[in-house]
Amino acid sequence: MIQAIRGTKDIFPDTIYQWQYIEEKFREVSDLFGYKELRTPIFEKTEVFSRSIGEETDIVNKEMYTFSDRGGESVTLRPEQTAALVRSLIQSNFHNNRSASRLWYFGPFFRYERPQKGRLRQFHQYGAECISSPYPEADYEILALASNLIKKLGIEEYDLLLNSLGNEDSRKNYRETLIEYLKDHKESLSEDSQNRLEKNPLRVLDSKAESDINIVKNAPIILDSLDSESKDHFEAVKSLLDSTGLKYKIEPTLVRGLDYYSHTVFEFRSGSLGAQNSFGGGGRYDALFQQLGGKQTPAVGFAMGVERLLIVLEEMKKLPPQPADADVFVIVTDTKFINFANKIAAKVRASNKSCIIELQRRSMKAQMKEANKVNSNYTIIIGEDEVNNNSISLKNMETGEQKGFEISELSKISFD
Ligand code: HAM
């Protein structure tokens, strides 16, 4: 038997309604904030991601699905959306004309990670990006949108962790301070972190290795290296969150797994998820447009992992019940009535009610069992009497009540 690729999942009809439910919420919340959907290709030239996410990150170093296509071009299945979105805006001559562009997306992403609960090789993200505003109110808008979505989904218990990486000058200062501290502990760091120490010391803060975590605990924090511009920006974001009652915790070691961030970074975490406890994250990325060859354009955004959101919702019992396959199930007592029964089914569908009809020529008992299984509100039973009298028998599956109707009365039945 050919198996699916490790870390990928088929989504069957018995859970697809959960995806459709959550996707509907993504649209609703995006509309509420005036965000418009953008779709980009599933694969891009590799440099779109390597130049933006950062050569020293786990994503670029170890996790990308990169291959040469038949023309010899190095292409990569997108591990995230932000870089590809920026590429598409630059390519389409997007101009930073002081009117913010608000964009959202939903789709599959690919990372070669070790699969476990909430960690897949093909996973899905919903995200939103606010392009063109350098001001803290844009950071706040993204955080408000994400929080609105979380609330709409009914998630009450979660943490919003917040940090600032400041502007470039602040990060330069901090790099030096951090390198100095890490050098003193070099021997105890993991091999990856030793390699990254000089090239990209902020990555060490994001390391999951036990030995690194202990050292990072006592490292100098970036908030102490922020210059006044960076401090002001961060204070303004916090003040907006405070004045609108959005709760957050400051996490001074939060740097995120991608290199393109500046100023605000944040993550949403839930205790329901186990080791992979982050169900969303994002931040500001004011240098990314330039890094990918565009004009300097400030921007901020976030993405949520849909599989992780579904785990949280399941755990918190916030998913809606599985809907019925159809409002009405049409049963025939004998196959010879199938033409009449199909005429009835067509009439039901014409009144915009969904309708399923038997296709396996099974016994009436088996059909009734099926009607129960698909959870239809009503069954219509067609037998000799019904055909002779141009009528139907309608059974309410909840009350068990059964009543006869003339076909001419069919359009008046609500089937709700
Ligand atoms: P990220 O933190 O790499 O950020 O991913 C965002 C979310 O995607 C994570 O919080 C997690 O829920 C989900 N996720 C990531 N990897 C996996 C995986 N292997 N399996 C399941 N879920 C996963 C970004 O991707 C940035 N582009 C976010 C952003 C948008 N920053 C600014 N704008």
Per-residue confidence (pLDDT) for residue 224, from 0 to 100: 96
Q: How confident is the model at residue 98 (pLDDT cuts 50, 70, 90)?
A: low
Average pLDDT over residues 162-188: 95
CA distance 284 to 133: 10
Per-residue confidence (pLDDT) for residue 56, from 0 to 100: 86
Average pLDDT over residues 246-269: 96
Contact between residue 85 and residue 292 where contact means Cβ atoms under 8 Å apart: no
pTM here?
0.94
CA distance 101 to 299: 9
CA distance 174 to 335: 79
CA distance 402 to 258: 62
Q: How confident is the model at residue 97 (pLDDT cuts 50, 70, 90)?
A: low
Q: What is the pLDDT of residues 284-323, one digit of tens each?
A: 999 999 999 999 999 999 999 999 999 999 999 999 999 9
Among 95-104, 134-143, 314-323, 355-364, which is the least confidently predicted range?
95-104
The minimum-distance atom of ligand 1 relative to the CA of 63 is 19
- Strand segments (E) across 39-183: 43-45, 65-68, 74-77, 101-110, 122-131, 159-164
108 lines ligand 1 (CB under 6 A): no
CA distance 291 to 4: 37
Q: In angstroms, what is the span from residue 387 Cα to ligand 1's centroid?
A: 59
Per-residue confidence (pLDDT) for residue 96, from 0 to 100: 62
Q: How confident is the model at residue 271 (pLDDT cuts 50, 70, 90)?
A: confident
* Token pair listed for 247: 């709760």
Edge-first strand order for the sheet with 249-250 is 36-37, 101-110, 122-131, 299-305, 278-284, 262-269, 159-164, 249-250
Percentage of the residues of the chain whose pLDDT score is greater than 90: 90
Q: What is the pLDDT of residues 393-404, one digit of tens each?
A: 999 999 999 999
Q: In angstroms, what is the span from residue 140 Cα to ligand 1's centroid?
A: 19
Q: What is the pLDDT of residues 17-39, one digit of tens each?
A: 999 999 999 999 999 999 999 99
Among 14-18, 92-96, 383-387, 411-415, which is the least confidently predicted range?
92-96
Per-residue confidence (pLDDT) for residue 415, from 0 to 100: 85
Mutate to test the pocket of ligand 1, among 63, 122, 125, 288 (most ligand atoms within 8 A of CB): 125
Q: Which residues contact 151 (CB under 8 A, 6 or more apart)?
A: none
Among 232-241, 328-337, 405-414, which is the least confidently predicted range?
405-414
* Token pair listed for 68: 């040469």
